[in-house]
Each structure stands twice: as C-alpha cells, then as structure tokens.
Amino acid sequence: MSKLNIDQQTIKELFSNKKSDFLIPDYQRPYAWDDVECQTLWDDIFSFAFPDNDYTLFDSENDEYFLGPIVTFKNEDNKLEIIDGQQRLTTLMLLLRAFYSFFGNMKDKNSVKTAEDISKCIWKTDEFGTPNMNDLKIDSEVSSDDDKDEFLSILRTGLVNDNHKSVYAQNYRFFMDQINKFLLEYPAYFAYLPNRIMNNCILLPIEAESQDTALRIFSTLNDRGKPLSDTDIFKAQFYKHYKDQGQKDFFMGRWKELESLSDEIFSAASGSSMDELFTRYMYYERAKLGIKNTTTEALRKFYEKDKYALLKKNETLGNLEALAQFWKSVSLQDDSAFSDRILRKLSVLNYAPNGMWAYLVSVYFMQNRKEDGTLEEEEFYSFLNRITAFIWTYAIMRPGVNALRSPAYPEMINIVNNQPVLFTNYKFDQDAVRNALENYVFTNGRPITKSILAWWLYTKEGQELISLDTTLEIEHIYPKKRQENEDTLETKSNLESLGNKALLERNINIRASDYRFADKKKYYQGFVTDKGKVKEPTKDVELIKMASELSDFTEKDIIERKELIISTFIDYLKENDLLL
C-alpha cells in the first residue's frame, strides 16, 4: 500500500519548514493564472481576514480559510516535486513577495517581525535562521515556460520593469497595487493582513512516496483544472534526455511542432491529443516485443519501463513525427501521399465500428514505410481491404472492441516480422456470416450500421471521394413517416433493414427524410429553388441513380437491395480469403 504524509498546515508552517524545497517540474504546464483568479483570491482572503470590514471580528485562534491541497513527492534530488497546486503555490509566493516589498523597508517592531516571517517562507535559511536571499524555497523547470526565469527573478529582487510582460509580472504588479490601495484605505489594518494569511490560511500538503502515486492522487482530487496527461510526463523524459545532449532548444522546437500537428489530427476528450499518438506508436513497440496479451497496459505504464528507456532512444521522437505526418495525410485525404483507391479504403475505415483499425494501420506504416514516408501501393491496398473485411465481419459475429484484440495483436506481430496479415486462425464460416447478416438488426445506434453503409457506398462505380469533414447521416430511403402514416410494409422490420438505408449528407437528409420517395428524389439529384438558389445534389452516386431510374422505392426494392449488399459483402470476404 502506498504511504502518504498528510498534515493540514498553515502557509507559514508549510513554507517556512526547512524541509520545504519545492520544484515545479519540467512536465508541468506554464503558469496560467491571470488577474481574474488573482482578484478572486485577494477578495476571498480579504473578506476572511476582515469580516464585515472589521478587523476585530476575526478570531485568530480558531478562524481558518482552506486554500486547497498541494500534492507532491520527494524526487531523487530530495526536492518536493509539485504535481497539484502549482498555480496556487506560485500565486501565494508572488503575493508574499509583494508584501515583503512593503514590510521589508519598515522599521517598527511588528513590521520587522512580519518581514522576517515572510522571508522564511520565500527563502531558505541557514542554521541560525537567517534567510539567504539568493536561495529560494521554490524553483521551476517547466520546459515550455519561457518566463520561468522572470518568476524567480521577481521572488529574489521584488523588482519588475516595463519590459516584464509575463503573467508573473502582471500578477505581481496586481498584488502590489492591491496592497498599496489597502495600505492607503486601511492603514490601521495593514499589519494584520499578511499575518492572517500566513497563520490562518490553510493548505493540505499531501506528500506521496512516488511520482506515480502523486499523479493518481491528483487525478482523484482534481475536478477543476486540466489534469496532467501522460504526454506531459513523456515530454519531461524527452526534455531531460535532449538536455543532457545539449539539445534542449532543438528538442523543444520539434516538440512544439509535433504537439501542434497532433492537435490538428487527434481529438481528446481528456488528457492531451498527443496521448493518442503515443498510443498508436505503443502498439508498434508492443508488437516488436512480441506481446500478444489482450490485457493492454495503461499508456504510462508501458512507456515508464526501465526508467523510460524507450523515450531515451534517439529514433523514438523521429518515429513519432513520421507517424503523426502519416496520420495528417490520412486526415487531409492527401492525394499526393495516397492514390484515390487507397484514400477510398481509408475513408471507409474512418467509419469502422471500433478504433482497432488505426492501431493495425499504425503498426503497418511504421514497419513498411519507405525512406520518403510512403508505402508500397499494392501491398497497402491489399492490407486495407483485408482488415476492413475482417473487422466488419468480426464486429457482427463477435461484438465488442475487446474481443477484437485476440485476432488483432498476433497480426501486429506478424506485421513487424514481415509476415502477411491473413487472420488464419479466425476465418469465418460463410453460412454463419450470411445468417448473421440476414438476421442482424442494423439500428442507427449501432456503429456497424454506418460501417457497412460506408463500405457499400464506396463499392459503387463512379463514387467520388467524400471529404471526411462531411457529416454523413443514415437515410431511410423508404421514410419512417410514410410507414407511420400508411403502414404499407408487410414486414415492419424491413424499415430498419440494410436494404432501406444509405449514407446521406446531413443538410440533405434534414430536408429529405420525411418525404415519399417520389418527392425526395429532387433532394438527391439537386435542384434550383424558385428564387434561383442552387441546392447541391448528394455525392452518393447510388441514390442519384435510384432517383433517376425509379419512380418509387418499395418493400420489394428494400428486400432486393439487402440481398445485394449481403451477397456483395460475402464476395468481399472471399476475395480477401477470410472464409473457411
């Protein structure tokens, strides 16, 4: 069980402790508080210290104001590495330094004592308790913070000038202004405020035994700001590696470009967009290690092995850059990087029922890329067809992304060993597949429904590539509203049949969805309004052909089209040698 040191302390108790030696590590994000947060902190502390603007109403023995937790762990250099609380800790240091700038010049007994107490919160002291004005209680190594030296300079000297534009300088000026206004408005209260801040404002320092434990605690406690992502930790390891080689600026330039590129390509509900890049690369490295275990390790657990040895290899950063460029080309449907038929297959895969395809493709790219970052056309085309056919069928026969790990992981190992992807041990029985397709309920809410329709869309001759930015929705060719009003289908389940569904651009689907086929044809084909406004046709060539050839779309058409889709898909499995 992890050991924790938790002890509620006042600011003075925590900051002035001789063992307090705080470090904001390189993987933390830059300081980000502005005057809004500083104003809130100031107002809250002032209201606490002077209830109803009356200093006599304050109970110095019992009144407490809780500022929040500070999560740290003691690193190899015996410094308290800050995992949570960086923003408030930094701001409190700036606030105390601003107070010291006033009290440090005062000569009365109380002011001298207050200045002494503040100094022991900001600077380390010798064995006699004398502060060393060059040895701060806090340091910053944030690799992406160009202004950290300005922060440390402000703490040492208390000076800012017009050239100081950082948020540190702005917030320090803010506190200096607030203190000056306070001194002019409440001169009799002046000595009380910093002492009540130091002695009655409470922090909850939580010292964990390791970085990993501290990060877990932070993830549990933090429900406000953006938590540290795995990528923040990985950046720190890269930074240290390149710094040791005298290449930290070179690294930071490459990292910023990679970060920007990842933000363009990958979305992230939480964490960093780069977490997805590291995940895709992880599968390549897993495959090289021959790992078939279907219990996939957490991202950080995988990379932290042997003290992050993988991240300390010079080729790793270049591999990540190459992988990111590949996925950028995929997302942009770059016809200078891929042929039209490859782009069509990749477009279909973007509608896959789960994300495993992206990991398979990432491993394939990393293993088979040429020096110029391209792939051999025929082999890549064959590979994309086979994984499409397999993933689609497996999703119907054995639903669930976790189930797909069993056949996918061995194939990743085959890829890195330059063996063909055949899914030899997982081929399908043709009759079982046909039966499953005929009886599967392809509701709109099931991802495989859109997957099958996307695959079917691109089987049509003359079908142009549709931008991935286009929102495609599932269209009921025989509309639901017609069935509600007329109840003409003999088999009501045919309404949700594959034979009655197609992909249609959202803006067209909104207009056409409830009309009878005879009336919605014009929306498929495009038309000009009475006011001369052009309504573009759908890019789905099958729907355009239907509109030009059929006067109505009946239950018979639904049944025949469903059979055609299923038969064509069975043939697709045969072509890719996936049937027993």
CA trace torsion 367, 370, 371, 374 (10° rounding)? -110
Q: Calculate the alpha carbon distances from 175 to 104, 161, 168, 321 in Å.
A: 16, 15, 11, 43
d(CA 384, CA 392): 12
Q: Calculate the alpha carbon distances from 399 to 279, 377, 393, 454, 512 in Å.
A: 23, 31, 9, 18, 32
Rounded to 5, what percent of the chain is helix, strand, coil? 60, 10, 30
pLDDT in tens, 77-136: 889 988 888 899 999 999 999 999 988 777 778 888 988 999 999 999 888 888 888 899
d(CA 58, CA 52): 10
DSSP 433-498: HHHHHHH----TTSHHHHHHHHHHHTTSTTPPPPPTTS-EEEEESS-HHHHHHH---SSGGGGGSG
Nearest to 326 by CA among 358, 356, 282: 358
Q: What local confidence, expressed as pLDDT, does residue 358 receive? A: 95
**Is the per-residue pLDDT at 59 higher than 50?**
yes
Q: Calculate the alpha carbon distances from 313 to 25, 241, 363, 495 in Å.
A: 22, 9, 18, 56
pLDDT in tens, 344-384: 999 999 999 988 999 999 999 999 999 888 999 999 999 99
Q: How confident is the model at residue 29 (pLDDT cuts 50, 70, 90)?
A: confident
Q: What local confidence, expressed as pLDDT, does residue 223 receive? A: 46
Beta strands in 75-181 (DSSP E): 80-84, 123-125, 131-136, 138-140
Mean pLDDT of 30-36: 89
Token pair of 445 as six digits: 């809410």
Token pair of 460 as six digits: 């049509």
Mean pLDDT of 179-201: 89
pLDDT in tens, 566-579: 999 999 999 999 99
What are the domain boundaries of the chain?
4-221, 246-419, 447-575
Instruction: Report the amino acid identity of residue 329.
Output: S
Q: What is the mean pLDDT of the chain?
A: 87
d(CA 163, CA 172): 14
CB atoms within 10 A of CB 227: 17
**Is the per-residue pLDDT at 416 higher than 90?**
yes
**Is the per-residue pLDDT at 144 higher than 80?**
no
More confident residue, 401 or 65: 65
Q: What local confidence, expressed as pLDDT, does residue 15 receive? A: 93
**Is the per-residue pLDDT at 417 higher than 80?**
yes
Instruction: Report the amino acid identity of residue 142.
Output: V
Q: What local confidence, expressed as pLDDT, does residue 224 receive? A: 46
**Is the per-residue pLDDT at 395 higher than 70?**
yes
Q: String of b and e for 478-507 (b: at least 16 CB within 10 Å)?
A: bbeebbeeeeebeeeebbbbbbbbbbbbee
d(CA 500, CA 475): 8
